[in-house]
Structure 1
């Protein structure tokens, strides 16, 4: 149909005029259509899209395939580390198929756990974005059109899911450029023990230490974590469950979201992405349940890290001259946080910082001195035997206290 003279720019003839240039709007909608490919009912995040974004981020900065020589160095280091750990812990090997991964392979292999961790937050983000984009924060004239164009508002909610997927993909890409293995953040991201040659190289920058010693020390830490995660049946569920419990209390700051959306040109995907980046919009509820979940998680992370550090130090003693310097480097890295921690906070709404690493290490060392290696590691036999936050304040009381009894008492139903 031909437009009448003088009416080409009349918004009454073009209900989409408020959204800006029609060509830009059409292009934006095509982009959205291309990206909104998650099957219905598959959850709030298009994980294929998130993985693609993450992989693109690491490839853009260089992510070469692992060469055979690098692979052999990593596999040999993990196997040797596993042998050394036999002398330092009663827990059996957790390294059955050691691998060397590129950053892209790390992304691919850890996504199943990230999905479990991220979706409670993603669901809240998508619901809130859908509501805000679906009319609540749009100008009055756009709200009027929203009432007439229900399908478009459905797409707006899908846009929220797309934005969250973009955010997760970008965060995973950033994290993949920093990690050295599968256990850097203290959670079991994979059943496979693996190190990233690129991550090991980045960790080594600025350290005037032999490359083979750095690689072996990091392999000791990776292998020690996997002994815990593979042979303490309740630990994986306990840690991931604490993260999920905390995430259930996360809300989205709707007032901040509405403030960012108000006045946006929704035909500009880049502006929308910047406005909806969720880190500043996530707001934990200060409930007792929330505080309790966070306290349990922080304590357990400290106990895991403290045990790993103690076992690795014992395994490396007399064999790895740089172990002391590397241990301090890792402690500072974990205790002070960094970009990876910030990234994780964006993904699941909290920062994983084991704030009491030294206290936990002191407690595990005291247990070894009093009960020996077998007695120390027997504490992992049941969650009821584990030290609490209060025990970190008084390790001697814990070591000499009621926890010295055998796990068989639980099985027999004795008090």
Structure 2
């Protein structure tokens, strides 16, 4: 599309872009290591380069180990560098694009005010490049990935068979750094791909931007708009409304961010690994060979990817809770945005369905994270969640619908998404005031018990 409004440019590179500021020198995003590529895949000669680069990374890791500096559960330097290589060249953000985002968000906020009791959560609206998204979101990714990587590392150390532990003992520190490097490599690949795909800072349902920041990514939006037969101006405002609606939730529902993180931590605490094949891997390998022959270490790194986490019932329950919470967030945003824009933007229905399909189908980046940590970034029941919020609004009002977010115990669960009638009855007919103020609820309980004791005494009781 060539009619992108508010100063947004099409996905073709504009003449007024400063080529000197583009990305990482025009690296091919599909070939992040810069290997020579043939028509059918890797050039065989590139394999030697790949192993050479891996050897250099391992050498640097060994130097870090020798200096006594631990790399942590995830090597985020590796993740950030690889993600930047994956992003490749990118177009800088123009002043007119920053202004475009501010204008679109401002308009969306006015319309959202009519459809929700939650006030605006936006303190600034900006346009981001993919690299800005990577840099700004990295602190959140650290909070998400550290518990899982730590759980994997602890499980590896405690669950390793005695024979394998004896073998690995002298090199456990190096193996720990290798694990952090491998985790960082996979994380970097996923983040690099996501950085080119996401349209807004909340596009995957997580609060990745600094608090109060509404961010849209013009380059990705231009590519997204090119594949749609909808007015570009409507696409921009629609995405701005989704971003602003997410921020209303994440800013004014104080427990929501922590609930997302704690659910992931609950998942991480239950991580177990099947070590049934590690003894075979360790047997026949002389530890001195690993130091003298880098190829042996590369084989160990490659083979270690076979040891994948095993999902326990407790973990599955945590994943279900996380998936339900993400669906409720996405469903509420979809519902509120549709309410706000349906009479103002004709294409809102088509755009909503496009976003549903986009989230449901996933992509290479989401598959990377599913393989890496066993977590799906896309909820499966967005349609059901949106329908639940809509039915609750039909049966009550905006205040009752938004009151559900006041306490986590008020939220519907996975069963309520499948059958919302009981949940709606509880919200309409039930007394939920106890969740507003726990101290007031305790005082009320004490008063009720005292009143009951008084009422139970006989009339001629001198104490009465």
Q: Distance in 2 between matches of 1:185 and 1:232?
A: 18
SS of structure 2 residue aligned to 1:95 = coil
- Compared with structure 1, are the counterparts of its residues 256 and 166 closer, same or farther at alpha carbon in structure 2 (3 Å cutoff)? farther
- Say whether the 8 Å CA contact 1:385–1:403 is kept in structure 2: no
State the secondary structure of the residue aligned to 1:401.
Answer: helix
The alignment status of 1:284 with 2:305, answered yes or no, reads no
Q: In 2, Cα distance between the equivalents of 1:409 and 1:30?
A: 59
Asked if 2 retains the 8 angstrom alpha-carbon contact of 1:45 and 1:164, the reply is yes
Is 1:364–2:389 an aligned residue pair?
yes
Residue in 2 that maps onto 1:46: 75
Secondary structure of 1:355 counterpart:
coil
Unpaired runs of 5+ residues, structure 2, are 1-51, 446-464
Contact 1:134 1:157 in 2 (8 A): no
Closer, same or farther: CA 282–222 of 1 in aligned 2, 3 Å:
farther
- Matches of 1:38 and 1:313 in 2, distance apart? 56
> How many aligned positions are there?
380
Structure 1 stretch displaced more, 399-408 or 165-174:
399-408
Identify the residue that residue 334 of structure 1 maps to in structure 2.
Answer: 359
Residues 309 and 361, structure 1, Cα contact 8 Å, conserved in 2:
yes
| RMSD of aligned residue pairs (Cα, Å) | 3.4
Q: Please say which of residues 67-76 and 258-267 is displaced more in the overlay.
A: 258-267
Shift of 1:89: 0.8
Matched residue SS, 2:120: coil
What displacement does 1:120 show? 2.2
Higher deviation after alignment, 164-173 or 226-235: 164-173
Match of 2:125 in 1: 98
From 220, 228, 237, the equivalent of 1:199 is 220
- Is the 8 Å Cα contact of residues 98 and 194 (structure 1) preserved in structure 2? yes
CA drift of 1:130 comes to 7.6
3-state DSSP of counterpart to 1:98:
strand
In the alignment, which residue of structure 2 is the partner of 1:67?
A: 94
Residue of structure 2 aligned with 1:86, choices 113, 120, 130: 113
Q: Is the 8 A contact 1:35 1:162 kept in 2?
A: no
Aligned residue in 1 for 2:61: 32
Aligned with 1:70: secondary structure?
helix
Are 1:166 and 2:185 matched, yes or no?
yes
Change in CA separation of 1:29 and 1:209 when aligned onto 2, cut-off 3 Å: closer
Larger displacement relative to structure 2 (221-230 or 175-184): 175-184
Q: Deviations over 1:40-72 (max 9, x none)?
A: 4663123233212212221x2x22221222222
Cα pair 1:50 1:169 within 8 Å, conserved: yes
TM-score by structure 1 length? 0.80
In structure 2, the CA distance between the partners of 1:406 and 1:251, relative to structure 1 (3 Å rule), is: same
Change (3 A) 1:212 1:276: farther
Check the 8 A contact 2:161/2:279 in 1, yes or no: no
- C-alpha displacement of 1:346: 3.4
2:284 and 2:99 mapped to 1: Cα distance?
A: 56
